Structure 1
Amino acid sequence: MFEQTFKNFKINFNAVNERSTFSSGDLVTGHISFELTKETKIASISMELKGRAHVHWSTQGSGGRKRRRGRRHFSATLDFFNFRSAILHEHRVTSCLSLAVCGEATKFRPGTHLYPFTCQLPQGNFPSTFHGVHGETVYNITVCISRPWHLSKDFVTELNFVNHIDTNQPELQAPLSGSNQMTLCCLWCASPPITMTVSVEKKAFVPGETVRIICEFSNRSSRTVTPKVRLVQKQIYYTHNKVNKNMIVKSLASMTGQPIGDHTSEVHTEMMITIPSSAPHTISNCSILVVEYLVERHTSEHIKPLSSLSHWAMSLYLMLSGDRITGQITLDLSGDCKIDAICVKLKGKAEVKWTENYGKTAVTYHNKEKYFSIKQFVIPEGQGNNIGKGCHVYPFTFQIPAQELPSSFKGSCGKIRYSLEANLSRPMRLDCKAKEQFTLLHRGNSDPSLMTPQHSVIDKKMRLFTSGTVGMDANIAHTGFRQGEGIKVVASIHNKSSRDIKPKYCLYEKISYFAKGKRRVQTKDILKEVGDAIPPSAGQTVTRTITIPPTTCASILNCNIIKAEYRLRVYLDVKYASDPEIKFPIIILPALQGPVEEDQPPAYPAYGYEGFANSDMLGGTSFLQNPTALVPSAPPPTYSTYGLYPSLTGYDEK
């Protein structure tokens, strides 16, 4: 075969600068080298220097089996130049010791061969090298080797081409500036304007250079605004004559400035943003592909009265059902403010959503499961009044219901989320909200089934390209394992086949989403490991420890619309035959946390893991929940109650 005859083929360039880039008019010199493993006839060796731009994108059809009918493709190609030259001419005769003439082709002896080459890039205004989402501009050198009675073989390498622009041109050195203003709300609620003027020192920059942005602000509104700046790259793709267009916007860098207080004028600030050194050059001299850069400056407003929502009992943001959350709301007022009410809400829910296509019809499946929603007023409705200037602190406390709650989870089609949300109401104003999410872990228990060892045996007869039989007797210590814990797998393997076999291990997850009588299943390999080969007609006992990654999500078996399950697959890799395998169901439990605090309130007994202490409120009045919430429910049911793959009556099996 061609690949077996030619080895270590290389195309080497002589650099013309430190960055190893080339520009129009540069002389490209270098050499090609290759190694022959046997005597080979070569008719010719040629080289092609080519520059071109190509774009392609498509629009999606309606979906399903007929989705291709509605899909439209757009493409365009633009050739800049294409030159060919010969490195080794056909029928060339030479007296070199490494060559021998044989008929119409030159016979090359085994060994390393080296040929220099020289070519010159044409003069012209060509765009720089660029690789984008829907197109590219490339400059390639292709070496073609032709042999008698063989298909020719091409070896391609890319030149890093840069279109040099004189940045000292007056129009590129001229400063740029712009201004804008906005108001908040509308009609009779409209605020005084927020005005900003932004300028930069020049228009042209090089990769790695820092852009100095000078800003002037005037904030006459009653809200605090924060200036933000970002460097944006726009990739614009066209078909010929620019009939069709596709644009991609990409943020390369961003920066946030210092907040500007309300009723403030003539604020001067400067922000620095560095252009990434890997940023492609601007392309404005290509008719089908344009790359340009913008510096965007904007402000985001914040309602000042609700400045923070603190959760002092959640410093690690890890909670269990029945735990108590204490915290405080801080109001920092620059003047008198009339407040109608302030409330805090503790919520827990699960939600799934996905879309499936049936021909031209797209069906969305959506389902929710609400666990609790507890609302508490810090300032009750109807009792609000004017609050004076200064900092005001309002403490609160919640208890997470002591019920069977699934752990927090986030997947591609669903999530289980627990959060605290504070809401401030003011007359003739939009409500101000602050929201914090926290991670809740499912309470474990001493279910005996989690410690039950697992054992399985498989024997398989090989067919077709492999003869004999392969057998495996595997076991693991138990069913439940914690995050970061090692799973010890002991396998007795008997290889009575005619080939080497390798034991392999794969830990994977299976996530199931349920809605409207349908189930969507997604599987993902978490880790794979390979053992040593076992020769034919041999037996061996193999021990392997598979460590569960600490970041792996805990198993979720107590949610009606989301299931997170795990399997450990132990299988034997047999060439040219189906692999015998054994699957062990695994339950992954949360990792153990720190020691229990001695001042844990006795009203909140824990089951299983006791690593989270309930801390007292920092001060002020406690806002306890309903007395019934303080009484823990019965201990959570065992994991075996749920089953690993529950019965899906009315669901499509997958």
Structure 2
Amino acid sequence: METVSVFVPIPKVTKLELAFDDEVYLAGESINGKVILELNESLFLYSVKLKVAGKGFVEWIGESDENLDYSRKIHCSNKEDYFHHIFTLWGAVLKTCAPEVATPLAKLFQYTCNTDIDRTKCKIAQECHVHKKQNKSNPAKYRSISLLIIISKLLEDHDAEGLEQVLHAGPHIFHFSYKLDDALPSSFKGSHGRIRYYVRAFCTATEGTLAQVEKDVNVQETFNLNLDPSNKVSTSCEGFWDCSVSDAICTLCLQFPLILAAEKDISYWCWNFPGIAVSVTVDKSGFVPGEDIIITSEINNRTSRNLRLISYSVGTEIKYKAFVQEAFCDHYREFIEKLELKKVQAVIEAPPRQVTKILGSLQLPKPMFISDMSRCKIISMSYELQVTIPIPGHRVMVTASAPIKIGTTPIHFPL
């Protein structure tokens, strides 16, 4: 996933970084990390804050109506906001302690307003000299600042943040932890949409935001494949899926082996020649991100050529869902995009006119969108496993494919 970093430097800030304990977080887990701030001089700050947010959007330009004899472009878009929180890591003393000090301060302010107490003395500042740099014995290397009582300053300015505080030179580390909601979709980036989670750390002072850094968080949605309705055992299942027999069986029994079959002959003008027949067996059809798919291929090579290449791939069909306003009403629109998520090629040796058994594997990427997309209303996704064998010299290939499901809890096989 892409990481976006933004750093707005000032001379005294030499380093501002975000570091996470893990690369991928499951929905419901806590994001643990730290903010690293390094100063080459003392700096007056209000606070060091952290913003954690998650949002998704889809957008594309489409046709108004394909049945019309003219073309009119329309803008299709949709968005979702999952969470947005800002909290303080350091500073903002008065705001942080507001529940404890609000009541006594309110009584004190009210008392001073109702009596003839002279409040002008509260505006008499105390002069303080702060060293800037280099030789401390040189008076020219100091600057004078005036200090007022915090309570009087709060009464005068009604400052919600409280006064600035000094953060001394050197490295400073602020640890944080944020618990994610249980119902969050996975991080995703496509050509027409994106689901993004990010953490932003920033330093605030009187002048506003002095420095900030932003980093994406990879979130993996959770889904238990054992609870999926399609994993129910059916009386029509006989211990395997056979995608060449019935598509209905392919929607049941994720724990049973999946069998793919395909056959391709070679055609040249009006002549047909024997080609390739392939039978592929996968131990199951439900997987988790990062898992290895073990694929056994039985190749019946009826040609006169050696087969030297086989490829395993996982394709995905992404469906973007949006609304467009036409004639003062919203119309639902969809955009379907097909992509090859991951592909692995292997060199094999399949002699002519023989049956050869090949054992291969394909590791799924991490994180991935799960097959159950009920938690995301703007993007849905389905997956397909493909095994392809090209026939040398004929520009022909045979492909066996079948749908698979992605979850986060592996399938438990019955004893």
Q: Confirm or deny that 1:367 pairs with 2:71.
A: no
Choose which of 159, 162, 168 in structure 2 pairs with 1:384. Answer: 162
Structure-1 residue corresponding to 2:337: 521
Q: Confirm or deny that 1:422 pairs with 2:201.
A: yes
Residue identity matched to 1:584: A
Report if the CA contact (8 A) 2:295-2:359 is conserved: yes
In structure 1, distance between residues paired with 2:205 and 2:55: 28
Residue identity matched to 1:399: Y
Structure 1 residue 547, shift from structure 2 partner = 3.2
Per-residue Cα deviation, 1:537-574 (whole angstroms, up to 9, x for no partner) = x452422313327x565344334434455433234545
Question: Structure 2 vs 1, CA of residues 301 and 398 (structure 1 numbering), >3 Å: closer, same or farther?
Answer: closer
Per-residue Cα deviation, 1:629-651 (whole angstroms, up to 9, x for no partner) = xxxxxxxxx9xxxxxxxxxxxxx
Structure-2 residue corresponding to 1:353: 59
Residue identity matched to 1:453: P
Report if the CA contact (8 A) 1:466-1:576 is conserved: no
Q: Structure 1: give runs of 5+ residues left out of the alignment.
A: 1-299, 591-607, 610-637, 639-654
The 5-angstrom pairing of residues 102-121 of structure 1 reads none
Choose which of 44, 47, 68 in structure 2 pairs with 1:337. Answer: 44
Report if the CA contact (8 A) 1:333-1:389 is conserved: no
The 5-angstrom pairing of residues 468-487 of structure 1 reads 471-481=277-287, 486-487=292-293
In structure 1, distance between residues paired with 2:78 and 2:348: 43
Per-residue Cα deviation, 1:247-288 (whole angstroms, up to 9, x for no partner) = xxxxxxxxxxxxxxxxxxxxxxxxxxxxxxxxxxxxxxxxxx
Structure-2 residue corresponding to 1:327: 34
Choose which of 203, 207, 217 in structure 2 pairs with 1:438. Answer: 217
Question: Structure 2 vs 1, CA of residues 533 and 515 (structure 1 numbering), >3 Å: closer, same or farther?
Answer: same
Structure 1 residue 402, shift from structure 2 partner = 3.8
In structure 2, distance between residues paired with 1:435 and 1:486: 33
Q: TM-score, normalised by structure 2?
A: 0.54
In structure 2, distance between residues paired with 1:411 and 1:310: 27
Structure-2 residue corresponding to 1:542: 357
In structure 2, distance between residues paired with 1:490 and 1:301: 54
> 2:185 is paired with a residue of what secondary structure?
coil
In structure 2, distance between residues paired with 1:506 and 1:494: 18
Structure 1 residue 507, shift from structure 2 partner = 0.4
Structure-2 residue corresponding to 1:490: 296
In structure 2, distance between residues paired with 1:527 and 1:363: 39
Residue identity matched to 2:186: S
Question: Structure 2 vs 1, CA of residues 589 and 500 (structure 1 numbering), >3 Å: closer, same or farther?
Answer: farther
In structure 2, distance between residues paired with 1:383 and 1:577: 70
Per-residue Cα deviation, 1:208-263 (whole angstroms, up to 9, x for no partner) = xxxxxxxxxxxxxxxxxxxxxxxxxxxxxxxxxxxxxxxxxxxxxxxxxxxxxxxx
Q: Confirm or deny that 1:453 pairs with 2:269.
A: no
Choose which of 536, 554, 574 in structure 1 pairs with 2:368. Answer: 554
In structure 1, distance between residues paired with 2:369 and 2:209: 41
> 1:302 is paired with a residue of what secondary structure?
coil
The 5-angstrom pairing of residues 230-249 of structure 1 reads none
In structure 2, distance between residues paired with 1:372 and 1:580: 47
Number of aligned residues: 288
Per-residue Cα deviation, 1:34-79 (whole angstroms, up to 9, x for no partner) = xxxxxxxxxxxxxxxxxxxxxxxxxxxxxxxxxxxxxxxxxxxxxx
Report if the CA contact (8 A) 2:16-2:213 is conserved: yes
Report if the CA contact (8 A) 1:465-1:577 is conserved: no
Structure-2 residue corresponding to 1:570: 387
| CA RMSD of superposed structures (Å) | 4.3
Structure 1 residue 511, shift from structure 2 partner = 5.0
* Bigger proportion of residues as helix: 2
Structure 1 residue 523, shift from structure 2 partner = 1.6
The 5-angstrom pairing of residues 121-136 of structure 1 reads none
Percent of matched pairs sharing the same residue: 19
> 1:406 is paired with a residue of what secondary structure?
coil
Structure with higher RCO (Cα < 8 A, 6+ apart): 2
Q: Confirm or deny that 1:582 pairs with 2:400.
A: yes
Structure-2 residue corresponding to 1:276: none
Structure 1 residue 481, shift from structure 2 partner = 4.5
In structure 1, distance between residues paired with 2:53 and 2:17: 16
> 1:407 is paired with a residue of what secondary structure?
coil
Structure 1 residue 408, shift from structure 2 partner = 2.7
In structure 2, distance between residues paired with 1:428 and 1:461: 74
Residue identity matched to 2:50: V
The 5-angstrom pairing of residues 275-314 of structure 1 reads 302-303=9-10, 314=20
The 5-angstrom pairing of residues 70-109 of structure 1 reads none
Question: Structure 2 vs 1, CA of residues 488 and 328 (structure 1 numbering), >3 Å: closer, same or farther?
Answer: closer
Question: Structure 2 vs 1, CA of residues 492 and 343 (structure 1 numbering), >3 Å: closer, same or farther?
Answer: closer
Residue identity matched to 2:384: R
Report if the CA contact (8 A) 1:306-1:424 is conserved: no
Structure 1 residue 438, shift from structure 2 partner = 2.5
Per-residue Cα deviation, 1:420-454 (whole angstroms, up to 9, x for no partner) = 12344434545643322222233464637454321
In structure 2, distance between residues paired with 1:389 and 1:489: 59
Residue identity matched to 2:312: C
In structure 1, distance between residues paired with 2:167 and 2:175: 22
Residue identity matched to 2:358: T
> 1:383 is paired with a residue of what secondary structure?
coil
Larger Rg: 1
Residue identity matched to 1:490: T
Q: Structure 2: give runs of 5+ residues left out of the alignment.
A: 1-6, 65-69, 96-158, 232-253, 323-332
Report if the CA contact (8 A) 1:311-1:327 is conserved: yes
Structure 1 residue 311, shift from structure 2 partner = 5.4
In structure 1, distance between residues paired with 2:51 and 2:314: 37
